[in-house]
Every structure is written in C-alpha cells, then in structure tokens.
C-alpha cells in the first residue's frame, strides 16, 4: 500500500542556524491516525508545516504521490487540511461563512457553489447556525469546530491537527473527539494531551530534538518516556 | 467595548438594517453634504434634519439614548469652539456650529449602527474605495477586538504590579515599561500577521480575495435612496440658509 | 485633533479630500508594489495594533494622560507608503465606529495626520536615521508629526471661518506641544525596545529616502504657511481668492479680531508671519531635543 505521505530524511534549519529537524523519516497510510508526541521545541509543529509546503527544508516530502514543490503546492494544500493551534489565526474573515467558503472561493469555485459547500462543511461540524456570526463571538470550542469546517470545505484527504484540544473544556474535548472519529480522512495529531491521543490515535511517534526516536502505540510511548500527566507526590511536611 | 455595542445594533431586526449598504452610504453622504454646505443652520433646517435622523433611529430600531450618547462624543471638540464663538458675540454661529457637528455625528451613528462593517466596506468599495484598502480595513476590524484585549491584559498586569502608584521613582520605570509593552504588542502583532498569512496560504490563497456575496438593489433600496437624496437636497435648497 | 463634521467649509473639506485621495492612492500603489503578498494581513493587523497601542495611557502627573499616535513608529518600521495606508485605515475606523473625526472631515484628518504629519515626522529619520543622531531624530520626528497635524487642523478650522480665540489657540498649541513630546519620547522607547527584540526597521533606497525627505519638508513648510495664513483673517479663504490675483506683491494686512496672537515684533507681511511660525517651531525643536537627551540620560543612569 502506498503511503499518503512519505517523508525521507527531512532536515530544516532556522534563519539563525538552529537545527529544527534533523533527518525525519515518516509515513502516513490511509485510514490511520498518528499522534505526534514529544517535548516543546522538539520539532513537531515545524515538521507538520512541511507537509503542505509552508516550510521547505532539505530531504524528500511526497504527498499523495506529488513532491511538495512549486507546481504541486496548490493541489497539495487542498488535500492536506491543516488545523492550526490558534483558531484566531485561522478565522480571519468577518463572518464564519466567509471563512469556511474562503478555500473553495480561492480555488475558483463560483460564489453560489462555494456557499453551498461551506454550509455543508458547517453542518458536518454542527455549526450551521453560526454562519453569519463574527469569529470573536464564538467560544474556544466553537472556533475550533469552525476552523475544522474551513479545512473540510476543500474536501481534503489528510487532516493535520496541531494541539486541537488546547483551551477546550472537557465537554468540548469529547465533542471534538467524536467529531474527528467520524471523519474518514487519515489524520496526524500533534498533541500533549495523552488521554486524547490514546482515544484517537492508531499509532504514535515520539519527537526529540528534531528527530523521531521512537514509534509505537500511545500507551507504549507513554510508558517508555514517562509521558503523561504528572502527579507530584505530597511532601511529608504538608499536613 | 465600544464597537461591540454598535455591532450588536447592526443585528437588530430593523428595516434600515436590511437595506443595501450602497444606498445607505449615498444617503448618508447626501445628508452630510447637506449639513456641510450650510453657512448657518436655521431652526427649520435643524428640525428637518433632526427629523431625518430620528426617522433613521426608528427605522433601525436603534436605542435613541445610545445614538445620542455617541453623537455627543463630538462635544469635547466642537463645544469649546462653539463657546468661544458665542463669547465673541456670534451666538447664532456658535449654535449652528454645534448643531452641525451633532447632526452629522448622529447621522453617521445611525448608518453605521444599521450596517455591519463587512457590508459597509463592500458598499464603500462599490463606491470607489480601492480593494486593497478596503481589505486592510476589513482585517483591521476583525483583529481590533483581539489586540485591544491583549493591550488591556498587559495594562492590568502592569497595574497589578504596582505601576501607576504615586511614587515618583516609578514614573521613569513606567515609561520604559510602556515602551516595552507596546514593543511586545508590536512583535506579537507581527507574528500574528505572519501566522494569518500562513493560514491563508494553507487554504489556497492566490493573491486576491473573492467576495462571497453579490450586492443587489431591490425596490426598497431604491425607494430609500431616492427619498434620502431628495429630502436632503430639499432641505438644503428649500430652507433659506442664514447669511 | 480629529476634526468632526460640520466645522469645515466645503472648499476645505472637498479640497482636502481631493489631495488626500491622490496622496493615499499613490501611497497604496507604492505599498503594493514593494510589498510581499503577506502585506494584506500585516497592514490590517498593524492597524489594529495602532488602536491597541493608543489605548495604553500614560499618566503625566496633574491628572492628565497622553497616548501614542503611532504614525512615525509605523513609518519607521513599515516604510512611509505602507504607514500612510495603515493610518488612513485607522482614521476611517475611528471616524465610523468611534465618532473620532467626521466622515466629510476625513479627507482633512487623513491629510493632517496620515499624510503631512506622517511625512513631516519621518523627515528627521529620513535625514539622520542612520547616523549617531538617530534617537534624537526619532524623538524630533514624533514631536513634529503631532505639531504639524495640529497646526494644519487649526489652520483648516480658521480658514473655514471658525473663530479661534487666542486663549484657545494657545491652549491647543500647549496641548500639541505636550502630546508631541510624549509622541517623541514614546516612539524612541518603543523602537529601542524593538531593537532589543531584534526587529529590523524598514530599509529604503536612497532615492526613496530623498523623495520622502522632500515630501517631509513640503509638509513642514505647508504647516508653517497654513498657520501663518490662517492667523491673518477668519475669512481668509475669500480674501485669498483676491490675493492670488495680486500674486507677488507683499502687502500689509488689515488688523483682524485675531490680531492678538501675532507676535509683536513680527513685521506685518506674509513673510513675517511665516518666519514667526518657523521661529516658534525652531524654539520648540531644541526643547524636544533637550527633553529627549534628558530622558536618555536618566534612563541610562
């Protein structure tokens, strides 16, 4: 089976010379949900930005058979739906409907068609009533769902989610989980929330200092790296 | 926040809200030009113009007190000038000045209070404002609240750290802190703008923003447009202005 | 400083609109040309930033407070064309949503603050921004941006026939001076903070700098001239029409109700008044410089 995403030996350096990615190899197969775990600054978000060409490093990145390079970027960006950590950066239009229709409109769809597509996407995430609201009127959870709709409107094959549960209260987290589980696309989820990761991911990789140093199930990696919510022991004096 | 209050008005179920933004903008301009070309307002003119404003308030189901309060925001500027004029013996001119400022401001409040900003901007674009500029205003308005909130948070944080106390030595720190705070706000704004651009690219942005909605004039819009222009012109030409 | 509607005469607000529209049109085209695609969100967000920054109030003692205007800051970091467009966007939103300035008066307000004031404020930086005098230049620029916008606003009002009593004029001048000083000091503080945060200021080509410098000088001269002219007569616009028919002749002017704020020692000619205006600015400029120096010394102490 050919992978949807194939990354070989990806390297990336920031302007000031720091190495952000130091030879990453990665595959994503249809139907999978892969969790990217690891400490802050280990390169998870930087890695993910290479998958739709927002960053360009050395090495090989192939998405749906196309190299992530100039002539293919348009199509790749349609197929890879990237959900950023900060929903306010993603909802930049005056109303929800315009935000969700943005992708289709940019790709040349007629306004009427784009609007229909947008409404369908909003329905998928349960936010069809918010079509004419302005983004700042939405709660964090609602913004997250609308952001997801903006990505779904272009009918992607792969969803990449960067810290999707940040700022969400437990009920919103569960809602998001059900929503994501119902979507057929292959998914990559960058997250610190190991409980969420365990619920949604079929497999996980562990990033450290720009490289993937381990692979396995979320439970495996949690064990190996002691990677989960820490509960500090009470000190003997505090009685 | 101020602009959120007005924003709420634009969602009320008034007749004015449903009109085409182009018609509203043209009528507003006609009104402002009418007021702006009077040398001196007469009582009749003030009443007629005030009547138009009141009609707008009613048609838009706008809160009268809210509109009046916002119109009065021009008072600190026009007030002293009017007073100075009155003191130099020109009471008629003084009152005229004040009324012109108040009526103009009230008209703007009514129209802006009955038209959501994105539609207002579409109207302006149709009337000739360059798209590049209109889009900048659109982005500005979208992030206005967010960034103002950020600034407020910084202010609260600074206050809770003791800035603003009467201790003289603090004054110097205050300036540096303010400069630093605004500097940080600047850098974060820049970073946010870069992130927004990335998000736009990720969704297929190719350099131009396509509008979703087509503006269309219906009968009600034409009626409003013609009525607004004719009434403004009638008041300007019909009521004899003072010398 | 934001003039509301209903105060300016049609000639002034219409004329100002014509000039502003042309100026901002050119600036927008310039900004677009030299810009990357990312300019759209950047300029919009920086406009929102200006609003946010203007909310930060500085207690000055005596229960008053001042705040940043930001045109010089923007000009130095985004380049004058982009800065002019952003400030115009800010002024538009201020007029529409906050009733800070009128819609018919927008042309005049844009001219005063986003065009002339901005260019005059950028002038010192254009000339000395790369030398040792950069911080003084920046402080002076901040001051000039406020002084020039204020002077032009007063002139436009006077030329529209609004009677500005001497006490009001002096009070306004005092306010402009204080706010100008704040602008200068704040702009310096912020740009220094930005240097620490490693933000680069906009680099302009030599020709671009010469052009903006020339425009800055033009703005400065205009402000001086406008103040001088407006201080002569409340119905100056009508008499102006007469006078241009007698171009080149220097005449003694008839005493007017505003005669009180002509400087006693200035000769009764147009040139004399212009000189008086310039002298005023020349007096305040070194004061701003001295303040900037004093501020720097105290900070590094």
DSSP letter (8 states) at residue C283: H
B-chain residue closest to A156, CA distance? B203
Alpha-helix residue ranges (DSSP H) falling in A59-158: 73-79, 87-90, 96-106, 111-124, 140-152
CB contact under 8 A, B84 and C163: yes
CA count, 13 A, side-chain hemisphere, C8: 28
What is the CATH classification number for the domain harbouring C171? 1.10.1760.20
CB of A75 within 8 Å of a chain B CB? The answer is: no
CB contact under 8 A, C52 and B78: no
**C-alpha to C-alpha distance for C60 and C179, rounded to whole angstroms:** 10
Residue boundaries of the structural domains of chain B? 2-117+216-238, 126-202
Q: Is A20:A14 a contact under the CB 8 Å cutoff?
A: yes
CB of A51 within 8 Å of a chain B CB? The answer is: no
pLDDT tops 50 at residue C235: no
With tokens 């889009």, the residue in question is B135
CB contact under 8 A, C43 and B136: yes
Interface with A, mutate which of B191, B196, B210, B213 (most A CBs under 10 A): B210
- Alpha-carbon distance A146 to nearest alpha carbon in chain B (angstroms): 14
**C-alpha to C-alpha distance for B80 and B98, rounded to whole angstroms:** 10
Domain extent for C66: 10-231+251-300
C97, C164, C199 ranked by CB distance to B187: nearest: C199
CB of A94 within 8 Å of a chain B CB? The answer is: yes
pLDDT confidence tier of residue A233, bands split at 50, 70 and 90: confident
Q: Which two tokens stand for residue A208?
A: 């450290």
Once rounded to an integer, what is the mean pLDDT over residues A80-87? 93
Q: Cβ-count burial of A100 within 10 angstroms (0-12 exposed, 13-18 middle, 19+ buried)?
A: buried
Q: What is the pLDDT of residue C60?
A: 59
A132-138 contacts at long range (C-beta below 8 A, 24 or more positions apart) = A132/A95, A132/A96, A132/A97, A133/A95, A133/A96, A134/A94, A134/A95, A134/A96, A134/B7, A134/B142, A135/A88, A135/A91, A135/A93, A135/A95, A135/A96, A135/A99, A135/B142, A136/B142, A136/B145, A136/B146, A138/A96
pLDDT tens, chain B, 243 aa long: 566 788 889 889 999 999 999 999 999 999 999 998 877 788 888 888 999 999 999 999 999 999 999 999 888 888 888 888 787 777 888 888 899 999 999 999 999 999 999 899 999 998 888 888 999 999 999 999 889 888 888 877 776 766 555 555 556 666 777 778 888 889 899 899 999 999 999 999 887 788 887 888 889 999 999 999 999 888 888 765 443
ipTM of the complex: 0.91
Residues 6+ apart with CB under 8 A from B139: A92, B196, C40, C41, C43, C44, C45, C47, C48
- Alpha-carbon distance B55 to nearest alpha carbon in chain C (angstroms): 20
Once rounded to an integer, what is the mean pLDDT over residues C69-93? 94
DSSP letter (8 states) at residue A165: T
**C-alpha to C-alpha distance for C89 and C101, rounded to whole angstroms:** 13
CB contact under 8 A, B196 and A94: no
* Number of structural domains chain C divides into: 1
Alpha-helix residue ranges (DSSP H) falling in chain A: 44-50, 73-79, 87-90, 96-106, 111-124, 140-152, 170-181, 194-200, 218-225
Once rounded to an integer, what is the mean pLDDT over residues A62-90? 93
Q: What is the pLDDT of residue A16?
A: 83
pLDDT tops 50 at residue C92: yes
CB contact under 8 A, B193 and C85: no
CB contact under 8 A, C190 and B194: no
Write a three-state SS string for B107-173: HHHHHHHCCCHHHHHHHHHHCCCCHHHHHHHHHHHHHHHHHHHHHHHHHHHHHHCCCCCCCCCHHHH
CB contact under 8 A, B141 and A77: no
CB contacts of C6 in chain B (<8 Å) are 35-36, 78, 97, 99-104
pLDDT tops 70 at residue C35: no
Q: Is C288:C181 a contact under the CB 8 Å cutoff?
A: yes
C89, C189, C257 ranked by CB distance to B136: nearest: C89
CB contact under 8 A, B203 and A77: yes
Alpha-helix residue ranges (DSSP H) falling in chain C: 10-33, 39-54, 71-78, 80-98, 106-109, 117-128, 134-159, 166-196, 206-230, 236-244, 270-300
B84, B93, B140 ranked by CB distance to C164: nearest: B84
Q: Which two tokens stand for residue B140?
A: 């500005």
Rounded to 10 degrees, what is the CA torsion of B15, B17, B22, B28?
A: 80
pLDDT in tens, A160-176: 999 999 888 899 899 99
Residue C240 lies in a domain: no
Q: Give strand pairing partners of C65.
A: C59
CB contact under 8 A, C52 and B176: no
Residue C135 lies in a domain: yes
CB contacts of B105 in chain C (<8 Å) are 4-5, 99, 102
Ranges A99-113, B144-158, B189-203, C195-209: which has the least confidence:
C195-209
E strand or H helix at A190: strand A186-190
Residue B208: φ, ψ to 5°: -135, 145
B7, B138, B203 ranked by CB distance to A103: nearest: B203
Domains and CATH numbers, chain A: 5-90+157-225 (3.40.50.300)
pLDDT in tens, C97-107: 988 899 999 99
CB contacts of B205 in chain A (<8 Å) are 102, 106
- Alpha-carbon distance C44 to nearest alpha carbon in chain B (angstroms): 4
Q: Is C76:C191 a contact under the CB 8 Å cutoff?
A: yes
Residue C246 lies in a domain: no
Q: Which two tokens stand for residue C267?
A: 């000769």
Q: Is C4:C105 a contact under the CB 8 Å cutoff?
A: yes
> How does DSSP assign C216-274, residue by residue?
HHHHHHHHHHHHHHHTT-TTHHHHHHHHHTTTT---PPPP-GGGGGS-TTS-SSHHHHH
A82, A111, A154 ranked by CB distance to B212: nearest: A111
pLDDT in tens, B16-60: 999 999 999 999 999 999 998 877 788 888 888 999 999 999 999
If one counts every other C-beta atom within 10 angstroms of the C-beta of residue A225, the result is 15
**C-alpha to C-alpha distance for B117 and B134, rounded to whole angstroms:** 11
Residue with the larger pLDDT of the pair C165 and B139: B139
CB of C87 within 8 Å of a chain B CB? The answer is: no
pLDDT in tens, C19-28: 999 999 899 8
**CA dihedral for B133, B138, B139, B140, sign (positive or negative):** positive
CB contact under 8 A, C164 and B81: yes
CB contact under 8 A, C58 and B178: yes
Q: Which of C81, C103, C107, C93 is nearest to C28 (CA)?
A: C81
Residue with the larger pLDDT of the pair C259 and C289: C289
Residue C35 lies in a domain: yes
Q: What is the pLDDT of residue B164?
A: 55
CB contacts of B134 in chain C (<8 Å) are none
CB contacts of A110 in chain B (<8 Å) are none
Q: Which of C210, C44, C230, C251 is nearest to C119 (CA)?
A: C210
Interface with B, mutate which of A46, A81, A91, A92 (most B CBs under 10 A): A92
| Cβ within 8 Å of B, A 96-115 | 97-98, 101-103, 105-107, 111, 114-115
C8, C45, C93 ranked by CB distance to B193: nearest: C45
B132, B174, B197 ranked by CB distance to C28: nearest: B132
Q: Give strand pairing partners of A10.
A: A24
């Amino acid at each position: 089976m050919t992978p949807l995403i194939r990354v070989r030996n990806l390297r990336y350096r920031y302007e000031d010379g720091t190495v952000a990615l130091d030879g990453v190899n990665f595959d994503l197969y249809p139907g999978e949900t892969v969790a990217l775990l690891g400490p802050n600054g280990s390169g998870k978000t930087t890695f993910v930005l290479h998958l739709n060409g927002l960053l360009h490093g050395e090495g090989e990145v192939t998405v749906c058979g196309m190299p992530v390079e100039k002539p293919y970027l348009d199509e790749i960006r349609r197929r890879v739906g990237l959900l950023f950590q900060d929903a306010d950066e993603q909802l930049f239009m005056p109303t929800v409907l315009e935000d969700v229709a943005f992708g289709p409109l940019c790709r040349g769809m007629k306004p009427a068609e784009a609007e229909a597509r947008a409404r369908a996407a909003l329905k998928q995430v349960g936010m069809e009533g918010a079509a004419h609201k302005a983004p700042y009127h939405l709660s964090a959870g609602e913004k997250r769902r609308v952001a997801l709709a903006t990505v779904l409107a272009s009918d992607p094959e792969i969803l990449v989610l960067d810290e999707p549960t940040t700022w969400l209260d437990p009920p919103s987290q569960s809602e998001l989980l059900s929503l994501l589980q119902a979507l057929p696309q292959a998914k990559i989820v960058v997250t610190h929330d190991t409980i969420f990761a365990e619920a949604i991911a079929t497999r996980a990789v562990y990033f450290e200092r720009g490289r993937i140093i381990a692979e396995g199930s979320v439970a495996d990696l949690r064990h190996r790296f002691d990677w989960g919510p820490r509960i500090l022991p009470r000190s003997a004096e505090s009685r | 926040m101020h602009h959120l209050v007005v924003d709420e008005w634009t969602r009320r179920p008034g007749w004015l809200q449903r009109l085409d933004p182009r018609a509203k903008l043209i009528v507003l301009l006609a009104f402002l030009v009418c007021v702006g070309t009077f040398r001196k307002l007469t009582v009749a003119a003030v009443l007629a113009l005030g009547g138009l404003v009141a009609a707008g308030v009613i048609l838009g189901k706008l809160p009268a007190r809210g509109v009046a309060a916002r119109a009065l925001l021009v008072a600190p500027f026009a007030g002293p000038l009017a007073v100075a004029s009155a003191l130099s013996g020109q009471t008629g001119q003084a009152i005229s000045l004040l009324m012109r400022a108040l009526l103009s401001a009230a008209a703007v409040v009514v129209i802006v209070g009955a038209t959501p900003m994105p539609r207002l901007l579409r109207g302006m674009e149709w009337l000739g404002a360059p798209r590049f500029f209109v889009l900048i205003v659109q982005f500005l308005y979208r992030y206005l609240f967010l960034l103002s909130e950020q600034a407020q948070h910084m202010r609260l944080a600074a206050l809770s750290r003791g800035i603003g106390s009467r201790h003289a030595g603090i004054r110097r720190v205050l300036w540096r802190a303010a400069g630093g705070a605004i500097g940080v706000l600047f850098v974060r704004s820049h970073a946010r703008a870069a992130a927004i651009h990335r998000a736009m690219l990720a969704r297929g942005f190719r350099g131009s923003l396509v509008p979703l909605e087509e503006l269309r004039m219906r009968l009600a819009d034409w009626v409003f447009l013609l009525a607004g222009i004719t009434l403004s012109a009638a008041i300007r030409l019909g009521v004899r202005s003072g010398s | 400083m934001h003039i509301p509607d209903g105060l300016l005469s049609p000639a002034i607000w219409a004329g100002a609109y014509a000039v502003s529209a042309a100026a901002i049109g050119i600036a927008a085209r310039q900004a677009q040309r030299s810009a990357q695609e990312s300019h759209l969100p950047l300029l919009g967000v920086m406009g929102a930033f200006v609003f946010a920054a203007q909310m930060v109030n500085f207690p000055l003692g005596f229960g008053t407070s001042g705040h940043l205007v930001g045109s010089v800051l923007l000009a130095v970091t985004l380049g004058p064309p982009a800065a002019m467009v952003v400030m115009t966007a800010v002024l538009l939103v201020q007029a529409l949503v906050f009733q800070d300035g009128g819609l018919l008066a927008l042309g005049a307000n844009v001219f005063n603050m986003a065009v002339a004031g901005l260019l005059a404020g950028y002038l010192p930086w254009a000339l000395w921004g790369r030398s040792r005098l950069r911080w003084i230049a920046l402080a002076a620029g901040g001051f000039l941006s406020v002084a020039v916008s204020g002077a032009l606003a007063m002139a436009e009002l006077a030329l529209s026939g609004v009677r500005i009593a001497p006490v009001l004029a002096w009070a306004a001048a005092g306010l402009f001076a204080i706010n100008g000083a704040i602008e200068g000091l704040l702009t310096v503080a912020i740009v220094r903070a930005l240097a620490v945060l490693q933000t680069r200021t906009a680099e302009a080509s030599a020709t671009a700098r010469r052009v903006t410098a020339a425009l800055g000088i033009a703005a400065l001269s205009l402000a001086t001239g406008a103040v001088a002219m407006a201080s002569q007569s409340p119905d100056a616009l009508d008499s102006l029409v007469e006078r241009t028919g007698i171009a080149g002749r220097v005449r003694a002017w008839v005493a007017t109700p505003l005669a009180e704020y002509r400087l006693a020692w200035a000769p009764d000619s147009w040139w004399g008044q212009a000189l008086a205006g310039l002298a005023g600015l020349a007096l305040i400029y070194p004061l701003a410089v001295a303040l900037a120096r004093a501020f720097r010394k105290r900070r590094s102490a």
